[in-house]
Structure 1
């Protein structure tokens, strides 16, 4: 029996393919199911079952399409009122795949109806557990995604769900969570790349702290999560449309300028320094990286048309795949190639890129500092006098950014680069600080409240 991890680093999630003797089951697949199909083909196995731990809030599921494509049985918790055919399971049910089985365990907390699946080998021994958003590596799933009125109840439920898993499973059983590898569905950052029940008994706060301490600390530590989460549950409950990973229609420079002038979302995928060196005025710079889809999905007006600018076709297609995972499907155009050629004679905008050492040299001058980290990051340590507007709030608060010279920073440069493209205007001289915030302390720049 083999468990294959299918990592989606851009969203901080994992899906899994369990295979043995020619058959396989898939747990929590992402929408781009071609990855699963390719692995099954390489393994020489037939996918007979597709299992969901919960209705996901951070991505569009590929479970429905995968089950229809391969003719597999689709397993969803009975408590989830979905609009498609599935096998509804409840606590204690057993799913027989042939060479192995899954036992359903109701583990509320991340959602009310959340289930985990205990993997049983041919001898009936618990070899592992697929925990979705309940027990993660050294932490647990966040409990506030269904609204603040439910957070306290769900946090208590999460505590007991993790304790149940730890009590019922042997120490050597491996823990296979869906979230916790950078996902905002994790209450706190997860630890390590693998774990067992024994590991969790020693490190998981739901197992090392008393119930009220766990609840209080989890709730007090919850930070903001991406706005697009509001749409994921709706899509996953109604049933996602089949994925489209094709190249968006090509548009020329004149059409690019028309779309920009009309206020449409035109997104430049190039490296942040390349964007700073020259870009079309009115475009947004979202460097294609592991953070790309989270922040674009967080900021952009849901359902608005998107036009992508990239260095080549591969970059556009990679971005489309990332966007498809969160259901951002309204890609109405693309343009590739040298940015000067795409400008077709129109002047390019640019701004300076610097580091914290450079800021230290000019700090006494007439300039403003914009810190676009989240509030909890700012409270922990910041540059005195800096204006803190978290990136996800910046579009609605651009008028609060001072005019004149504005130095923009975050924790690493990625969010600051997006913010710089948002506030870039004739009234401001933008300087992007492309540097790790930890370096600011070396130059005596940081303080705290």
Structure 2
């Protein structure tokens, strides 16, 4: 028996490869399925099952393509009603896999179809649970992401309490917990950076598994402090439930190199968004006017999902050479399938064609500090409210990037603004969006508050004067 966690950091998502005696089960695969197929081919084994723990909201799963290409059976837990052929397992059902068994444990709460898969080895010993978004390391799944349900989040939290107490906590302490996500995912509130643990440790240290916790206390704990989920979450959940276009077609359509004139024509004909994915240091020096920057080197896909409100938006992009397929792949992981091509040979092609170029004003942390000490600046802190509340520049306004589309009407196009985040990534995204919307007097503070703090600028742990949430 072999179990391998396949972790994708930019999504904080874990898929799993389980192999026994020539048969394989893949749990919660990503959209692009070639890596799973190649792994099985190298080992001379057959993918028998695609096990889905629930209808995912934060990414588009690869279940349909993987089943079509391998003949594997898609499996969901009880109550799931997918719009495609799948095996809807019963609670307690045993799925044979080589010399091992996988037991289906219906664990509703995160969503009503949420299911945990219990791995039983060749000797009949219960070895591991694949919990999806039911149980994380240090946390549990949030109860407000279910697709089209009449249940309140309090109702779902009550179901989750029952699932944990009746299905998960009675299991042996030495069982390994393999969750669907780690720290950085918006599917929970306070996940650990660790991506596996024993159930015994979780019973000791996970607040949601406290033995003396009442149902009412649990519901209050898991529903308190929930922020609005990213706007793409319900849309991805619908795609996972109803079906979607093959990734092969998405890649074929998007992997088209365009010269500068053709690129410009595609934008005009399709009202396409120009997405710049290069290093931020290169973007600020020169970019296509009106383009939005979201760098591929960080949490690219989640920020695309949070900020580009239409999954069907036509997109053309600028990328560093060799990164083109990666951009298309990572867009498709969160449901952005309408990529129409990329700028051939990158931004140099645009410059060599003598096309119009825009730049982003920047200021270093030391110069910003000197200016702050002598002038009254309009500072926008684009970090999350929780980060702002912890520590911020005195007088700065919290203008979270997550909600920039909602809050843009609260700032003035004629006012100069200085933007910062923690390290510089989010503030460049925010500045590019504001510039694309006609806010011309924006300046990015390089290095964010990490570098500003080193310059001894006055910081405060108290909100001053307002937030824009």
- Pairwise TM-score range, normalised by the shorter structure: over 0.9
2:377 aligned partner: 367
- Equivalent residue number for residue 210 of structure 1: 213
Pair 1:50-2:54 in alignment: no
Q: For residues 367-386 of structure 1, what are the structure 2 equivalents within 5 Å? A: 367-386=377-396
Q: Confirm or deny: 8 A CA contact 2:182 2:194 kept in the other structure.
A: no
Cross-structure match for 2:466: none
Q: What is the aligned length?
A: 448
Of stretches 79-88 and 398-407 in structure 1, the one that deviates more from structure 2 is: 398-407
Aligned residue in 2 for 1:186: 188
Closer/same/farther in 2, CA of residues 119 and 355 from structure 1, 3 Å limit: farther
How far 1:26 sits from its partner (Å)? Answer: 0.9
Deviation at 1:253, TM superposition (A): 1.8
Counterpart-to-counterpart distance in 1, 2:341 and 2:103:
46
Q: Does 1:228 align with 2:232?
A: yes
**Aligned equivalents of 1:258, 1:361: Cα separation in 2:** 45
Shift of 1:439: 4.5
RMSD: 2.2
Greater Cα offset, 294-303 or 385-394: 385-394
Q: Deviations over 1:158-217 (max 9, x none)?
A: 233223344332111110111224221123232413201111111111113623333323
Superposed CA deviations along residues 212-253 of structure 1, whole A, max 9, x for unmatched, are: 333323222212322111211211111222113335323222
Mapped partners of 1:217, 1:438: distance in 2: 31
Q: 1:245-324, aligned counterparts within 5 Å?
A: 245-246=251-252, 247-258=254-265, 264-300=272-308, 301-312=310-321, 314-324=322-332
CA contact (8 A) 1:135 1:177 kept: yes
What SS does the corresponding residue of 1:221 show, helix, strand or coil?
coil
Cα distance in 2 between the residues matched to 1:136 and 1:206:
10
Match of 2:347 among 331, 339, 342: 339
Gap runs ≥5 in structure 1? none
Q: What does residue range 80-99 of structure 1 map to in structure 2 within 5 Å?
A: 80-99=80-99
Matching of residue 358 in structure 1 with residue 367 in structure 2: yes
Cα distance, 1:129 vs. partner? 0.3
The CA deviation string for residues 420-442 of structure 1, in whole angstroms up to 9 with x for no partner, is 11122776333212325345444
Q: Give SS of 2:30's match.
A: coil
User: TM-score, normalised to structure 1's length?
Assistant: 0.93
Q: Name the CA distance, whole Å, in 2 between partners of 1:114 and 1:423.
A: 39
**Residue 155 (structure 1) aligns with:** 157
Larger displacement relative to structure 2 (169-178 or 40-49): 40-49
Task: Report how far residue 74 of structure 1 moved.
Answer: 1.8
Q: Residue 370 of structure 1 contacts residue 401 of structure 1 at CA under 8 Å; is this kept in 2? A: no
Give the superposition deviation at 1:407.
Answer: 1.3
Contact 1:360 1:445 in 2 (8 A): no
- Whole-Å separation in 2 of the counterparts to 1:242 and 1:388: 41
**Residue 79 of structure 2: aligned partner:** 79
Matches within 5 A, 1:359-438: 359-363=368-372, 364-402=374-412, 403-424=414-435, 428-438=440-450
Counterparts of 2:336 and 2:426 in 1: how far apart (Å)?
20
Between stretches 419-428 and 170-179, larger displacement belongs to 419-428
Does the 8 Å contact 1:61/1:240 carry over to 2?
A: no
For 2:358, which of 333, 349, 352 is the aligned residue?
A: 349
Deviation at residue 36 of structure 1 after TM alignment: 0.8
Provide the C-alpha distance between the structure 2 equivalents of 1:43 and 1:353, rounded to a whole number of angstroms.
52
More divergent stretch after superposition (60-69 vs 278-287): 60-69
- Report the alpha carbon displacement of residue 383 of structure 1 after superposing the two structures with TM: 2.0
CA distance in 2, matches of 1:201, 1:397: 41
User: CA distance change for structure 1 residues 427 and 389 in 2, over 3 Å: closer, same or farther?
Assistant: closer
Counterpart-to-counterpart distance in 2, 1:310 and 1:237? 32
TM-score for both structures, normalised by structure 2: 0.89
Deviation of 1:261 (Å): 6.2
Corresponding residue of 1:19: 19
**Which whole-Å CA distance do the structure 2 matches of 1:198 and 1:355 have between them?**
48
Match of 1:200 among 196, 199, 202: 202
Question: How far, CA to CA, are the matches of 2:268 and 2:364 in structure 1?
Answer: 32
Report Cα offsets for 1:138-163 as digits up to 9, x if no partner. 11111111379621111222233223
Bigger shift: 153-162 or 290-299?
A: 153-162
Q: Distance in 2 between matches of 1:29 and 1:20?
A: 18
Q: How far off is 1:413 after superposition?
A: 1.6
- The answer to whether the Cα contact below 8 Å between 2:416 and 2:441 also exists between their aligned partners in 1 is yes
Range with greater deviation from structure 2 (199-208 or 184-193): 184-193
| Contact 1:48-1:73 at 8 Å conserved across structures | yes
Shift of 1:399: 4.0
8 Å Cα contact 1:372-1:415 kept in structure 2 = yes
In structure 2, how many angstroms separate the alpha carbons of the residues matched to 1:316 and 1:227?
25
Structure 2 SS opposite 1:428? coil
Find the counterpart in structure 2 of residue 110 from structure 1: 110
- In 2, the alpha carbon distance for the partners of 1:433 and 1:158 equals 43
Distance 1:260 1:242 in 2: 24
